[in-house]
Chain A
Amino acid sequence: MSDAHTADDLKKHVRAYILVFVSLMVLTLVTVAVSYLHLPVHQAIAVALVIASVKGSLVACYFMHLISEKKLILWVMLLTVVFFAVLLFVPVFTVADRIGR
């Protein structure tokens, strides 16, 4: 977060923190409730990951202040996300591996 803040700015932040906190609690309960519906695996994975991504974004944007962070950090994290995605895609190549099946 940048260093220059007015008192009003900071109060707005507190309101945002409380709102994010409530949203995270609600989303946690929703994701648990959905798991009891016993959806088909693909749908269950999609719903759980979408909810987790929304929760993760809220934490990163508001608690970690990425939303108002300097561009350099945003670029560093964007690069990290790209590499993270590549890493998660590595197992997909195993689908093409039919040796022994």
Chain B
Amino acid sequence: MSDIEIPYTVAARPDTGLNNGKIGIWLFLASEVMLFGALFATYILLRVGAVEWPHGAHYLNVPLATLNTIVLISSSVTMVMAWYSLKIDKFGRFRMYMAATVGFGAVFLVVKYFEYSAKFHHGYFPKTNTFLAIYFTMTGLHMLHVIGGMVVNAYFWGPGAKLWKKDKEHFTNRVENSGLFWHFVDLVWIFLFPVLYLL
């Protein structure tokens, strides 16, 4: 069987003016906005309906979460630099920045592990109260997104990078799309951090 060429991976589709990957990832991100939007709406509903609502800092560790915010923002910069490195044809630099992005993701997860462990150690579970229930739900879903993004980025750092030799532009577009997802994950955290920890 001969190779089937996937259309519009690099060239823009005449009707959309974009390659298919680009429009696909943005539509996916639109659905993700609604997914997290539903949880933010749930948070508001629970909070306005509660007789009492604790300040996030009462249960949660603000310095650790601040550190994680800094880690995720840094990973967004290394992600965009990884893409930029491909744009200027520096594959070695791409590898370095992509490794840093995955590394920052890992640091985020380690910090989150310590945070969750401390909660469990103190007997704070999702069932403990409504605040902790929504905290674990939202940060848990976000953490799954971090893991998903890391898997895809690690793939492009490793085996997926073979495409670079065959079709540079196609590979660059793929990295741009995984980057868009990664930035979205950062963006969600930018809202989760104040909503859960600081208010």
Contacts and interface: CB of A to CB of B under 8 A. Distances in A.
Interface of A: 1, 3, 5, 7, 10, 13-14, 17-18, 21, 24-25, 28-29, 31-32, 34-35, 41, 44-45, 48-49, 51-52, 55-56, 59-60, 63-64, 70, 72-73, 76-77, 79-81, 83-84, 87-88, 90-91, 94-95
B41 A21 contact: no
Given A13-B84, A87-B38, A59 B23 contact: no
Contacts, number: 123
Contacts of B38: 87
Given A13-B84, A21-B77, A32-B62, A55 B190 contact: yes
Question: What 3 A-B pairs come out closest when comparing CB atoms?
Answer: A48-B194, A91-B45, A35-B198
A86 B2 CA distance: 49
12 contacts: A7-B88, A10-B87, A14-B81, A21-B77, A28-B73, A31-B193, A80-B30, A81-B33, A84-B37, A87-B40, A91-B44, A94-B45
Size class of B's contact patch?
Answer: 35 or more
A45 B88 contact: no
Interface in B1-33: 12, 16-18, 22-23, 26-27, 30, 33
Nearest to A85: B37
A1 B184 CA distance: 16
